[in-house]
Homo-oligomer: A and B are copies of this chain.
Amino acid sequence: MTDPMTSADGAAAEPRHPQQSPEKAAVGTSRRDLLRGALLGGVGGLVVGAAGGSVAGRTLISEDVTDTIDLSAKYPFYGQRYQGGVATEPQRHCVFATFRFAPSAGPKDLQLLLARWSAAIAVLQDGRTVGAVEPTSALQPPRDTGEAYELGPASLTVTLGLGPSVFGDRFGLARFKPALFSDLPALNGDFLDPKYTGGDLSLQACADDPQVSYHAFRNLSRIGRGVVIPYWTVLGFGRASAGPGQQTPRMLLGFKDGTRNIKTDDELNRFVWIDRSDQPWLDGGTYQVVRKIRMLLETWDADRVGDQQQIFGRDKLEGAPLTGTKEFDTPDFAARDAEGEFVIKPLAHIALVAPENNGGIMIKRRSYSYTDGLAADGSLDAGLLFVSYQNDPQLFIRMQNRLGANDLLNEYIRHIGSGIFVVPPAPEEGHYIGEALFA
């Protein structure tokens, strides 16, 4: 079989998987499977007419089923115990932004900002604009910048986090600081760039349309002007962590990411949601850790696949642990091969992070791919926007210190950005995030 990597003729290269036809390989999410039975020949046929009819040369694989993104879906903001964007099924796009306080910002400014942001987030998640795009008086600037007008809510969630500095002397809020919360210490494997590190507040705006995400970030930044200054932002795509019943997406190293992620309410309650803390106002909240992880893609791409699989401890295509055959098989970290060597190396990525090897602990990962274009040397500047949620920052710190010291993957990644924030619970209608701080 010819291959464009090595041959110059126009013939086709290998299909995606030797055991699957390309058509079969193109389907498989559980959403699609759920829709398949009901819609076969229905929506599929209609879409050919609607989307493909006027476009010459477009063909559809007839036995495939449309993967749907419902841009009218929305999440309520008020009356939830938890903020969205934590346990929420990962949306397809994300703008993650941190902010620094303006030098003049005082307690009243912070209070007003949290109230305004909360009101605006509620409106944005409802698919509305944060004020008129065309004010009645044409002499006014638009209240809303307008680029998401008519795009629909697109399952937007905006998650607001407070950095450790919120609880310093500046705002008189030190008494509300939970004992567990402080800046992340220096961690094994840190290559942090100050440009992408820290922040006083964070906003994570995830949606199924990137323009909806960007619009939320942009308009919330506008509302914050004079009080906060955007500090660093990442545009994430191709969510790399899956929710219940979802096919596990792949990050840019080509491996699935999220197979053993937190999925059940029980796991969320044990490891993610803060409950009965020393700060009752935080019950229903969580700690957010963000890491901008550059991947050295050219180096990785030159590594042989057998080594890549040893590094992860998983098979690349199926995502099965090297001791199993299916993605969701439980890894057997004690299994040895004929030579007496561990099948999954003790320093493989999945071995280091496995609950079995970490006293049973888990964290909720909610990551996205990103690209910043090219580095100065012409190499691909891309990687993973890692975001995790846990009810104790130590869960992340201990895990990352193990990984940073030992992970076979470290040769191929660099942790260049970092931040930690506490995410308060969601407010009731008529209230706002963090209101308890100003009671």
Contacts and interface: CB of A to CB of B under 8 A. Distances in A.
16 contacts: A3-B143, A7-B116, A8-B432, A10-B78, A10-B429, A13-B143, A27-B72, A60-B72, A66-B68, A134-B315, A141-B305, A146-B316, A218-B252, A218-B380, A222-B301, A230-B378
Interface stretch (A38-46, A283-291, A387-395): A38-46
A188 interface: no
Contacts of A35: 46-47, 50
A64 to B, nearest CB: 3
A244 interface: yes
Given A26-B127, A134-B316, A138-B309, A149 B373 contact: no
Given A43-B39, A127-B26, A152-B67, A374 B233 contact: yes
Contact of A10 (B51, B115, B378): B115
A101 interface: no
B304 A139 contact: yes
Contacts of A10: 78, 115, 118-119, 122, 427, 429-432
Interface string A373-406: 1100010101000000000000000000000000
B11 A138 contact: no
Contacts of A116: 4-5, 7-8
A153 interface: yes
Given A57-B75, A112-B8, A138-B306, A132 B26 contact: no
A7 B22 CA distance: 55
Interface residues of A, number: 152
B305 A134 contact: yes
A203 interface: no
A430 B9 contact: yes
B66 A67 contact: no
Contact of A218 (B64, B67, B297): B297
A131 B69 contact: no
A349 to B, nearest CB: 16
Nearest to A248: B150
A80 B67 contact: no
A175 interface: no
A202 interface: no
Given A31-B51, A211-B238, 11 more contacts: A11-B119, A14-B143, A17-B133, A26-B72, A39-B46, A59-B73, A139-B304, A141-B301, A218-B380, A230-B378, A231-B374
Given A67-B70, A139-B304, A54 B128 contact: no
B150 A4 contact: no
Contacts of A317: 133-134, 146, 149
Per assembly, the copies of the chain total: 2
Q: What is the predominant secondary structure among interface residues of chain A facing chain B?
A: loop
A161 to B, nearest CB: 18
Given A7-B119, A150-B16, A243-B55, A301 B145 contact: yes
Nearest to A20: B150
A122 B9 CA distance: 11
A41 to B, nearest CB: 13
A31 B47 CA distance: 9
Nearest to A95: B371
Contact of A12 (B52, B73, B126): B126
A142 interface: yes
A89 interface: yes
Interface in A98-153: 111-112, 115-120, 122-123, 126-136, 138-153
> Which 3 A-B pairs rank lowest in CB-CB distance, beginning with the nearest?
A146-B254, A138-B306, A64-B72
A303 interface: yes
A92 to B, nearest CB: 8
Contacts of A65: 72
Contacts of A7: 116, 119
Nearest to A36: B50
A211 B210 CA distance: 13
A392 to B, nearest CB: 24
A281 interface: no
